A = this chain, B = another copy of it.
Amino acid sequence: MNAVAAAENELRIRALGKRYASTQAAGGELQVLDNIDLHVPAGRFVSIVGASGCGKSTLLRLVLGLEDQYEGRITLGGQPIAGTGPERGIVFQDHRLFPWLNVEQNIAVGLRNAPLTPAEKRERVAEHVALVGLQGFEQSFPHQISGGMAQRVAIARGLVNRPRVLLLDEPFGALDALTRARLQNELQRIWQAERITMLLVTHDVEEAVFLANQVVVMQPHPGRIRRIVDVDLPHPRHRSDPRFIALRDDVLADFLEPGVLGAEQPPAPDPSSWRLAW
């Protein structure tokens, strides 16, 4: 992305609301998101933190265009978004690689319908394999690589068609702390290199503060923005930097305040899934 494109690539969310039909909720509808306003200039890195169920994933799904019934407006570079599109990419929490495709082919999925020649596609894929450091594993299938590697493939797939906005839904949630730290560093490096707008959903406040220019703290029932914290620390950041720790604890305090974090609730029993998974 060059500097000229910066203005027209800004993401604007205005008065966004989303309801789901729900038999459990009063009135048969669950207000998942309510009056969300967010302005993300091009090239920014925004983290979204919040308790489980506060609508973080839903927000990403709306920006991505996977849900089409909502209130309010979402525009990218002034254009209202309509359905999915190549200018918005995503990395899902559960990597969602196709188990029947190898690493290379899975990354190529991101270019499936891109207007490129096969040779160009091959080149781009190879580039991105290198970007996420998976040279030598091009022919491996998802079950043959570790969770951390799979997540890197998913990131490569999300990046390969150069979206203007990359959405990341808890991309490191399932990883152990060490792999996680490594991938955070890698993501930071990629972001610095590519200057793509990034929206990262995470449960991990430290991660949010470590990576973002801005941390959006959400609260549930219904999902709203509680606070937006600017993180104006220079990159590369250090986790033991006192300013970093102060900012982190600031957000964390907000977070641990009763009422924000809904009391731990048992998940709605879903006997059907249990029955077969047992």
Which of the segments A27-35, A144-152, A157-165, A227-235 contacts the partner chain?
A144-152
Closest to A278 in B: B99
Which of the segments A78-86, A189-197, A261-269 contacts the partner chain?
A261-269
Cross-chain contact B264 with A144 (CB below 8 angstroms): no
Cross-chain contact B178 with A51 (CB below 8 angstroms): yes
Cross-chain contact B173 with A176 (CB below 8 angstroms): yes
Is A245 an interface position by the 8 A CB rule? yes
Known A-B contacts A143-B269, A240-B249, A245-B240; the reply to A148 vs B264 at CB < 8 A is yes
Closest to A271 in B: B143
Rounded to whole Å, the gap between the CB of A138 and the closest CB of chain B is: 13
Option from B140, B144, B203, B245 in Cβ contact (under 8 Å) with A177: B203
In the bound complex, how far is the Cα of B144 from the Cα of A94, in angstroms? 23
Option from B144, B246, B264 in Cβ contact (under 8 Å) with A146: B264
In the bound complex, how far is the Cα of B51 from the Cα of A181, in angstroms? 13
In the bound complex, how far is the Cα of B242 from the Cα of A122, in angstroms? 49
Number of residues in A with C-beta < 8 Å to the partner? 41
Known A-B contacts A176-B52, A176-B173, A240-B245; the reply to A144 vs B266 at CB < 8 A is yes
Contact residues in B for A148 (Cβ distance below 8 Å): 264
Is A179 an interface position by the 8 A CB rule? yes
Is A204 an interface position by the 8 A CB rule? yes
In the bound complex, how far is the Cα of B21 from the Cα of A30, in angstroms? 55
Rounded to whole Å, the gap between the CB of A206 and the closest CB of chain B is: 8
In the bound complex, how far is the Cα of B204 from the Cα of A242, in angstroms? 20
A115-150 with Cβ < 8 A to chain B:
137, 140, 143-146, 148-149
In the bound complex, how far is the Cα of B256 from the Cα of A242, in angstroms? 21
Rounded to whole Å, the gap between the CB of A261 and the closest CB of chain B is: 6
In the bound complex, how far is the Cα of B173 from the Cα of A145, in angstroms? 20
In the bound complex, how far is the Cα of B270 from the Cα of A243, in angstroms? 46
19 more contacts with CB within 8 A, not counting A143-B274, A146-B265, are: A52-B176, A137-B266, A143-B269, A144-B269, A145-B267, A146-B266, A146-B267, A149-B264, A149-B266, A176-B203, A177-B205, A177-B206, A178-B261, A179-B264, A181-B256, A182-B264, A239-B249, A240-B246, A240-B249
Show 26 A/B contacts (Cβ-Cβ < 8 Å), sorted by A.
Answer: A99-B274, A99-B278, A143-B267, A143-B270, A143-B274, A144-B266, A144-B267, A144-B269, A145-B266, A145-B267, A146-B267, A148-B264, A149-B264, A177-B203, A177-B204, A177-B205, A177-B206, A178-B203, A178-B256, A178-B261, A181-B256, A182-B264, A240-B248, A240-B249, A242-B242, A245-B245
